[in-house]
Amino acid sequence: MAGATMVLEQFSTPGKILSQLPDGIEGVVPARVVGYGTAHAITADGPDGVILGYEGDGFPTVPGYALALVEDSLDTFKGVLIYDLEPPRQIPQLGTVSSSTTTIQLFGLRVMWSAVSSERCPMFASLDTAAADAEH
């Protein structure tokens, strides 16, 4: 959970909030609710941005929001972290994340990846995306 807290601290750093998502967010992507393990989300394009269908445990009821995490040094998408907190105000919504019962807002944030994830304590566990793709 330390990494999830450190992600939130980066909101106050200028230039970290994204106004659009980088290319490469498609198919099956890693996602997790803070305090739960890595699951996957299925992506689709929607009229108001990317739509993610979350398939895992702990999805929040309202309030809640999700952050698409982008490594700042390479501008690469790393995954989606979901919080059961009130969503931030006055930042661009880039899409939505839905479970079978609830939909929450998706925002984007550039993070110093080495500060929030390490080999010993990764933000997201490896996913078998081939198996997840085969399910859909």
Question: What digits encode the pLDDT tens for the residues 2-32?
Answer: 778 889 888 888 899 999 998 878 899 999 9
Residue 42: beta bridge partners? 28, 53
pLDDT of residue 1: 53
pLDDT of residue 128: 63
What's the rounded Cα separation, in Å, for the pair 105 and 118?
27
> Whole-prediction pTM value?
0.88
Do 76 and 34 form a contact (C-beta atoms < 8 A)?
Answer: no
DSSP letters, the chain, are: -HHHHHHHHGGGSTT-B-SSPPS---SEEEEEETTS--EEEEEEEETTEEEEEEESS----SS-EEEEEEETTTTEEEEEEEESSPPPSSS---EEEE-SS-EEEEEEEEE-HHHH--SSS-SS----HHHHHHH-
Amino acid of residue 23 = D
pLDDT of residue 103: 95
Residue 40 is encoded by which pair of tokens?
């996957």
What is the residue whose two structure tokens read 């995954």?
79
What is the residue whose two structure tokens read 């609830």?
102
For residues 86-97, average pLDDT: 93
For residues 100-125, average pLDDT: 89
What is the domain partition of the chain in residue ranges?
Answer: 2-116
Question: What digits encode the pLDDT tens for the residues 27-84?
Answer: 999 999 999 999 999 999 988 889 999 999 999 988 999 999 999 888 899 999 999 9
